[in-house]
Structure 1
Amino acid sequence: MNQSARYTAIGLCAVLLWALLVGLFKRVADEWGAVGGAALVYTVASVLLWIIAKPPALGRFPRRYLIVGCVLFVCYELCLSLSIGYANNSREAIEVGMINYLWPAVTMVMAVVFNKQRASLLMVPGIALALLGVFQVLEGDHGLSLTTLLDHLQTNPTSYLLAPMGVFIWSAYCTITVRMSRGANGITLFFSATAVVLWLGFLAGNTGFDAVTVQGVGYLLAAGAALGFGYGAWNLGMLRGNITLLAGASYFIPVLSALLAALMLGASLTAAFWQGAGLVVLGSILCWVSTRQGQRRKAKQSEAAHEHTTTASEGDH
């Protein structure tokens, strides 16, 4: 196996690890509590990242990136972990996990709007399919209706409001920090900040942990390892592996995540749910294709303009 293939395989391991997170977050929350469990998970992940991806000195990071990037990252991770942790049951945890996977499509829309990235008209059906997929996941076999959506919000407003908030926050993080970071990677610092904020929230709540069990410790270590090693493996894969293959594989995380969470949590998912999950994946892929087409069109226009300028210059001589 050559170097590129080896690092691509490492990157694919990250896809599998991330797909485990919904089920593991819910198991940890059941054992340790939503806030306390999340604090423990991010602490374990931070320790791992300090070992495998120790960041450079703070002075080497752009200050704006450290502040804005850290705030957005922490807010997103809070939304993700707590939306799953506060889910009333396994089905809700999987549903809010699926809402989270709207972020690839939303990120590409933000890149077009704020970063002036080119995209084709495929962006429109892509967004529509991704949204339709999430609605299908939430509605199940009841069909699309506003009443069912409102029922979800009334039953568990915390989870069903945090999840879409996280989508927009993470999309903003991906869009904004590209320009701010100047190639720096503050993930380890941001994870540590997330752990600190969660611990402050846990201590402010004046709550303690229930009886510690071997099973609870196992879920905690597994979740922390999946989170920490997932980011570490992904960074290695993107730096030295096949980026195109890894990007394509990442779009199938929603389906894989739902499957693994269903097995881990013992949830029964209907055919309507899987149809919705498939639409989320298809919508994200269409959005990605639309930006690729836009980039190719821009490159062709630049090439044509360059040829025209060269021809005109030669004519002057």
Structure 2
Amino acid sequence: MMASSDSPKKIAVIGGTGNLGSSVAFSLHDNTSFHVRVITRDASGPKAQRIANAGIELAQADAWKPEELATAFAGCWGLFVNIDSDAPNFKQQIGPSELEMGKILLDAAAAAGIGHVIHASLPAATELTNGSVPLVAFDDKAAISKYALQCGKFKTVSILSAGWFLENAFDPKYTASFGGFAMIKDADGYLTWATPRMGNDPESVPFLAAADDYGDFVHGVFLDPEAWNGKYIHGVSESSSFSNMTDIFERVTGKKARYREVESLQAPDKFKTKEVNGLFDLMHAIKGNFFNGIPTQHEDAKKLKAAASQARGKSSEAVEPLTLEGFFRKYAM
């Protein structure tokens, strides 16, 4: 059902200039029952201005400063949190941790009277593998989720973990690391996706069209937060093998593509290299079950997508999460 009140419910979005957060901001902005406030440290930057140009409110605040967050969170009913794990001080562990920032954000939200929280999480790598595959970003996000769920400071808390971004196929941070797909041809003229396998048999990767679907999943939760309280929701558009994904791309675009299994990956820097290889080590340890060791569930995502699509007044064509074929027809043609 659609959220309703005399005035729009204000929702603060942390990470609103990134892939996930902007998807959330744009989806919620389509529903007049909500008022979106994107919290950013740099309101003058190009990513923030893209948000502002869409008519979405910006509020400038430093996530390390509770006094600035208090002003930014004032009057808000809900909060979406996605912290950029690629920030150098987190990735290189040269400053306060992502977990510390998460606690500051959540404590400030509770002090401001925010009742409903959604956190973009990742699998608890160390816990799931009994310490054999620690991953800083994964462990910190999982710990933030646990803090949000257990602190007792909110009416509802939902965890909405994002699957494997389909957008990575066009992101220079990843295309070279993963073999060049879908931007750089290899020596044989193929757009090759080269990674280890996911770790399950048959292989099943939970792909996510972040821009098209993730925001609608969050939107769906905010429409009825009590129904999703305490739940760990799988943010997935469609599951498939890496090989099938490249086959679909080739069929849709007519461009030569293939999957090639490799033992390990080389990213632009040692920190990213450690993380991407750690991801596959983790997936093999938990048999490819990306969402905290649990086999991927698609029904929650479908329900949330349908609810958000209805609330946004979209046509029936927008009700289902985007398929791999639909994604490549939209972005790779």
Tell whether the structures are fold-level matches, with TM greater than 0.5.
no
* TM-score where L is the length of structure 2: 0.25
Q: Higher helix share goes to which structure?
A: 1
The structure with the larger Rg is: 1
Structure number with higher strand proportion:
2
Higher relative contact order (Cα pairs below 8 Å, separated by 6+ residues): 1
